[in-house]
Amino acid sequence: MSGHASRLNAITQITNRAPKECKTPQPLTDIWATDVFGLAKMEEALSKNAFKAIKNTVTTGAPLDPATADVVASAMKVWAISKGAKFFSHIFYPMTNITAEKHDGFIITNPEGAAITEFTGSLLIKGEPDGSSFPNGSLRMTNAARGYTAWDPTSPAYIMHTANGATLMIPSVFISWTGEALDKKIPLLRSNAAMDTAARKVLSLMGEEKIAPLNASCGAEQEYFLVDEHFANLRPDLLLAGRSLFGAPPAKGQQFDDHYFGAIPARVQVFMQAFEDKLYRLGIPAKTHHNEVAPGQFEIAPYFESSNVAADHQQLMMTLMKSTAKEHGFLCLLHEKPFAGVNGSGKHVNWSVGNATQGNLLDPGSTPHDNLNFLLFCGAVIRGVHKHGGLLRAVIASASNDHRLGANEAPPAILSVYLGDQLESVFNDIKAGKLLEKAKGGLMDLGLSQILKFERDPGDRNRTSPFAFTGNRFEFRAVGSSQSVSGPLVAMNTMLADSLNWIAEKLEAALANGSDKTAAVIVVLKELMELHGNVIFGGDGYSEAWHKEAVEVRGLKNLPTSADALPEFKDPAVVELFVKTGVLSKDELLSRFEVYAEQYILSLEVEAKLVIDMATTQIYPAVTQHLTHLADVSQTLAGLSLTLENTDLPEAVTHANAMMSAVKELKAALETHDFESTETHMNFSAKTLCPLLLKVRDHADTLEALVADDLWPLPKYQEMLFIK
């Protein structure tokens, strides 16, 4: 089957598809966390003392003694086997955006040949996958390939059900033989600890006596596209690169704004229900879902959780999203820009920090004292984004997110902070010395509670800002839809730790000088604003004027592509930040640069090969068939004086030739080897390969509108986006 025939067949299949049965909804209380070995299940299964020990570990991160680990392992095994599990697996989070697992059976045999099950504390605590095939950025040579996975008790174990059974999954860290972090979880845990230590210093100076462990929280809004599998199977680009490398824009796009928050198509609703029921069983609090701006685009957001658990849940969610979509006949696209000219997908990472004693420190609060804490933490974020904007840009860099950032509907690649009018004016008053006058009269005279109460209503939302305050949290909007939230969370926690350390030092000095607490806070924040206040921007982040002002007047970095952004990992200031806070050693950090750069280069190579292949074997043959057909017809009907004069024939010929000559150029470019450095290689990918891909595409997309519809081999945008 070729060309139109396969497209027509796809449409027929989709139109005649019997709706997937919608299961009778089950009460939430019946399914909530049934597949999770969380604290509630442990309390039932363990002795009082063992439970107390593990609870302490889970809530404070304190180490667990081996005897308790044995008891927990044994209870976990009994529970997992009762759920039908025969295998267990440490699940870990390598430096890619996906997860990895190695399954082991509970089974051992005794000398009599009978099968028994075994799961000891040491098996729970440590695993030894052959780690040589995971990216390590030259931290580990293959001849020293041993890598360890180690149980992270602060993220609960769960049962993963797949078509071929149930497996006990144990969230773990992944570490090299020599002790270096090879994953995304270790730096996240370390960054949380660094933030906790720094925050405690500030809170103690503010006179807080009881300070519970602080945690960063994360609630991520995930955007995605669903495309029917019949179309997807005809598009090698969607299957292999996750985005369409060809495709002319449809006559109707999103310009009518009729999709956002519109009624969700019935088939998608059935998918969402099945998917969310799975999430609930796994203790993932799916909270909102709706249509997104583009046709075929949707969003899901779980309720926020502590960042370590949220990051694990986010990864699990992406896996389940894809597999459940498949069960429902969809391909789920998490790519940041699957369709050119159509809205892209992001992952808004909502982030705050807090604890059980002081609450959310990014919430203005109801007393003047709470407001002072709030101002300090908020100021710390402002300083962090200003000092480490380059790092924040680097942690969201990927070949796929490059297509979205800076495009007209996504945040710009320049990192600035949006505070909202009222909070911005509070910080400006601090900078201008106005609040310092008032502060001399003590806490009550600041009059902040009144102002900041209004701030709690996010009201006017600046969607053009990459980093926005939204009432009681910051929202990092430039994160890509396919990315792990871990990298962004590590960067945010670490920059916050660094800023809180800076604040603590300044605050201590001001207090030692005899300043009253309120005045000391304002003095510190005044200095902070003078140094870093120019990162605050409430205007239109898309405008040309801003891009100019940001770079030329404010000295902010504009790093449009990953090739520009990834070298930030090697910037001495970034190395110092990570080393000083103990989140990553210099080697660990540099290995990350290598891994991410390699992924960038490889993704573009895959796309280049696909473009060559599709243009040569699918598009060009369709075009020549079209041209031959026209020539034949004009000859056959010559007696009737059919003329080709008013057709697009010459244009089609020109584009066909130009497309193939661009393909030739692209092929030659792919032959380039032996780059001086990783940076030159990345630049070559960004500045040579990318434009060539686009050149081929431009001609192909023009041809799509010229070639007879019944010859075009690839499902068109209007089909993929509108036929459900």
State yes or no: residue 288 binds ligand ADP (CB under 6 A). yes
Q: Which is nearer to ligand ADP, 6 or 306 (CB)?
A: 306
Q: Which is nearer to ligand ADP, 339 or 351 (CB)?
A: 351
The partner in contact with residue 176, picked from Mg ion, ligand ADP, none with C-beta cut-offs of 5 to 8 angstroms by kind, is none
Q: Which is nearer to ligand ADP, 288 or 661 (CB)?
A: 288
Interface pick for ligand ADP out of 89, 350, 371, 493 (rule CB under 6 A): 350
Q: Which is nearer to Mg ion, 348 or 532 (CB)?
A: 348
Region near ligand ADP per CB under 6 A, out of 346-354, 399-407, 518-526, 583-591? 346-354
The partner in contact with residue 281, picked from Mg ion, ligand ADP, none with C-beta cut-offs of 5 to 8 angstroms by kind, is none
Scanning 39-171, the segments in alpha helix (DSSP H) are 39-45, 48-60, 66-82, 121-125
The partner in contact with residue 219, picked from Mg ion, ligand ADP, none with C-beta cut-offs of 5 to 8 angstroms by kind, is ligand ADP
Token pair listed for 271: 């998918």
Region near ligand ADP per CB under 6 A, out of 348-356, 405-413, 489-497, 660-668? 348-356
State yes or no: residue 200 binds Mg ion (CB under 5 A). no
Identify the burial level of 258 via C-beta atoms within 10 angstroms of its C-beta, where 0-12 means exposed, 13-18 middle and 19 or more buried. exposed
In whole angstroms, the minimum distance from the beta carbon of 471 to ligand ADP comes to 8
**Could you give phi then psi for residue 138, rounded to 5 degrees?**
60, 25
Token pair listed for 143: 């001849």
Q: Mind giving me the DSSP string for 249-308?
A: PPSS-STT--STT-PPPHHHHHHHHHHHHHHHHTT--EEEEEE-SSTTEEEEEEPPEEHH
Q: Which is nearer to ligand ADP, 69 or 349 (CB)?
A: 349
Residue nearest to ligand ADP (CB): 219
Q: Which is nearer to ligand ADP, 350 or 501 (CB)?
A: 350
The partner in contact with residue 360, picked from Mg ion, ligand ADP, none with C-beta cut-offs of 5 to 8 angstroms by kind, is ligand ADP
Window 300 to 329, contacts with ligand ADP (CB under 6 A): 301-304
Spatial CB neighbours of 538, under 8 Å, sequence gap ≥ 6: 418, 419, 420, 421, 424, 462, 465
Number of residues that bind ligand ADP (CB under 6 A): 16
Strands (E), 315-370: 330-333, 347-355, 359-360
- Say what the alpha-carbon torsion angle 500, 501, 504, 510 is, to the nearest 10 degrees: -110
In whole angstroms, the minimum distance from the beta carbon of 302 to ligand ADP comes to 6
Interface pick for Mg ion out of 77, 278, 348, 695 (rule CB under 5 A): 348
State yes or no: residue 473 binds Mg ion (CB under 5 A). no
The whole-angstrom separation of Cα 160 and Cα 308 is 19
The partner in contact with residue 568, picked from ligand ADP, Mg ion, none with C-beta cut-offs of 5 to 8 angstroms by kind, is none
Region near ligand ADP per CB under 6 A, out of 27-35, 256-264, 347-355, 633-641? 347-355
SS3 state of residue 503: helix
Scanning 206-265, the segments in alpha helix (DSSP H) are 229-232, 236-241
Spatial CB neighbours of 48, under 8 Å, sequence gap ≥ 6: none
**Secondary structure letter of residue 145 according to DSSP:** -
The partner in contact with residue 303, picked from ligand ADP, Mg ion, none with C-beta cut-offs of 5 to 8 angstroms by kind, is ligand ADP
Region near ligand ADP per CB under 6 A, out of 181-189, 349-357, 389-397, 678-686? 349-357
The whole-angstrom separation of Cα 392 and Cα 474 is 14
Burial 149-163 (b: 16+ CB within 10 A, else e): bbbbbbbbbbbbbee
The partner in contact with residue 352, picked from Mg ion, ligand ADP, none with C-beta cut-offs of 5 to 8 angstroms by kind, is ligand ADP
Interface pick for ligand ADP out of 68, 155, 464, 472 (rule CB under 6 A): 472
Q: Which is nearer to ligand ADP, 287 or 629 (CB)?
A: 287
Residue 571: closest CA among 490, 679, 660: 679
Angle at 331 between CA 330 and CA 337, to 5 degrees: 130
Q: Which is nearer to Mg ion, 230 or 348 (CB)?
A: 348
Residue nearest to Mg ion (CB): 348
In whole angstroms, the minimum distance from the beta carbon of 217 to Mg ion comes to 14
Q: Which is nearer to Mg ion, 152 or 223 (CB)?
A: 223
The whole-angstrom separation of Cα 274 and Cα 483 is 24
**Secondary structure letter of residue 435 according to DSSP:** H
The partner in contact with residue 473, picked from Mg ion, ligand ADP, none with C-beta cut-offs of 5 to 8 angstroms by kind, is ligand ADP
Window 203 to 232, contacts with ligand ADP (CB under 6 A): 217-219, 221
Residue 73: closest CA among 151, 187, 186, 182: 151
The whole-angstrom separation of Cα 284 and Cα 548 is 43
Window 643 to 702, contacts with ligand ADP (CB under 6 A): none
- Please, what is the end-to-end C-alpha distance for the chain in angstroms? 22
The whole-angstrom separation of Cα 448 and Cα 446 is 5
SS3 state of residue 364: coil
The partner in contact with residue 472, picked from ligand ADP, Mg ion, none with C-beta cut-offs of 5 to 8 angstroms by kind, is ligand ADP
Region near Mg ion per CB under 5 A, out of 119-127, 133-141, 344-352, 627-635? 344-352
Run of H or E including 384: helix 368-387
CB 464 within 8 A of CB 411: yes
The whole-angstrom separation of Cα 163 and Cα 422 is 54
Q: Which is nearer to Mg ion, 337 or 348 (CB)?
A: 348
In whole angstroms, the minimum distance from the beta carbon of 466 to ligand ADP comes to 14
Q: Which is nearer to Mg ion, 200 or 348 (CB)?
A: 348
The partner in contact with residue 506, picked from Mg ion, ligand ADP, none with C-beta cut-offs of 5 to 8 angstroms by kind, is none
Q: Which is nearer to Mg ion, 77 or 348 (CB)?
A: 348
Q: Which is nearer to ligand ADP, 350 or 499 (CB)?
A: 350
Interface pick for ligand ADP out of 386, 393, 404, 473 (rule CB under 6 A): 473
Contact positions vs ligand ADP (CB under 6 A): 217-219, 221, 287-288, 301-304, 350-352, 360, 472-473
Contact positions vs Mg ion (CB under 5 A): 348
